[in-house]
A and B are shown apart, each in its own frame.
Chain A
Amino acid sequence: MSLIQNILDDTVQDRTRGLDYAAYAVTRDSGAAGESELTVLIRSHNDQIESLLKKFGCLGRTPTEQVELWEQLLPRVHGALRGLDREFAKTGQGENVRVVFDIDMGGLYYTRIGTHAVLFGATLDQDEVNNGRCERDMYRMVAQIEAVSTSHGA
């Protein structure tokens, strides 16, 4: 698992911006109705969050609180996507694999890795969403995690 920690740190703590936060989580099916529990195993965030919160006028929020908000959100995103998987079954197009949310202040990124893991990324910086940098960060981390998972059974 330290290999995956290094992969997240190398990307998120890069000073040239990109994603501000990433989390690697595992999922476990938990019921006949298709529910799935999600547990965050590894996370990384950078120190750009504080300046971005100030820049966007979120003066009462600390970086720690922002990270907690993202971690509270992750199971909700995962649960909602599982719900939409069932909705999409009618389209014949299979389940969600990669999802990008472009919101007013930055973006959220969700990618499934295999059948029981998820990589979640977030940024507060809209420029980094618009220029595609965060999507490239996600692609690179997913490829690296898949490579070590195959090699080491992580």
Chain B
Amino acid sequence: MDFQTFRQFADSEAAALHIEEYELYYQLEESASVSAFRRETREFSSASEGGVCLRCLVSGRMGYASTQLLSEESARALVRRAVDNAAVLENDQPEALVPAGQSYRSAAAKDEPLPSAGKLRETVLAGQDALYAQPGVVDGCETEAFANRISIAIHNSRGLDLRYEHTISGAVLSAVVSDGKEDGEKSSDYKICLGALDALDLPAAAKEAADHARDTLGAGAAPSGAVPVVFSAKAMAQLLGTYAAVFSAENAQKGLSLLKDKEGTEIAAPIVTLVDDPFYEKSAMPMPFDAEGSPTRRKNVIENGVLSTLLYNLRTAAAAGKETTGNGDKPNYDAKVGVRPFTMYLVSGEMTREQLLEKAQNGVLINSLGGLHAGANVVSGDFSLQSAGFLIENGKKTAPVRSFTVAGNFFSLLKSITGIANDPEPPMSPSSTAFVSPSVLVEGLSIAGK
């Protein structure tokens, strides 16, 4: 059964139960991927997954239910389940539905058919060739080429009828390198490149992954102490992504973000400006509307150190007496509407990366962070994270160091940024949410090594 037919059954059940306000959110994700190992294709996968989420307003509460089974019986059951679930809710501020007649910016969405299995195979094998052409690379390199076609439809009782179709493709190249000794040291790194398969620069991606992996061979331990730390563009983007939840009005209103009641106050160093942009030029998935169907827009979240706005959906905006920022989010079609940024990026400064290292003089350059889901506490802001990178000595990057930690607090870190470079990297995320940053110099963090 297709979504349109399913929708008619749901409409008729809603009418029978006298449900006046409801929405059907439909998502279908078709994907294809091929992986390779030892210059041979290993796994091919062709998936088609999605479902329908219904939310309906009953006595001022929005109940949810979802299903992947599209049949008349499941359509009718879906409405009854959502009504049942609404009955126990107690939240003070109800969710609202977006009326028809909004104006949306035309996004650069491209709806293309998925590439053929042959094309994916060709890409993934070319990726293997590119990796094995790099010096120091050893057996074990894996590559993957993938494509996803995402379809979203939002249909509600206020006449809203939105559709979005978009295709993303790309490749992942993982380089494994060794120091050449028997039973010697191995290291690995990977690079995700997004774009049309024909347009991917696989040799450049392979070189970058292998160079980064090789640079870390022979790494020693970092000395413990409080030193200036430079986060590379990639590491800082990872950290931003981990702490993005602190900018959610939902978390603030639930008492789970320390930025509660901080709008209009200084929360970062004056050189910090943080932007959320659904139409970021290198975004893999520009979005003209959010998960509620509200139009999206670019906004400064932090402007010259001052928190300009948190991110809102309709419900949290109404609770705060504000307008939505168009950041309604569903991490999956079956989820309750929450809040999330699109492409969130730290605005570049004027220094080159070399000048930033020069400014740091003696400290540590962190190129990668690990265990962010565990070692970073979003509520308190405290973090202690596994790191790898290089020593900075006399303003220059010198010996590689690894298996050390960097510890601090995100909210203090924002205030302790003393330099921002001009070297942002394109987003690596194949979705509408991504994080981008240039390299950043931070004072006052603690390193634990030897």
A, B bound: no
Which residues of B pack against A, CB within 8 Å?
none
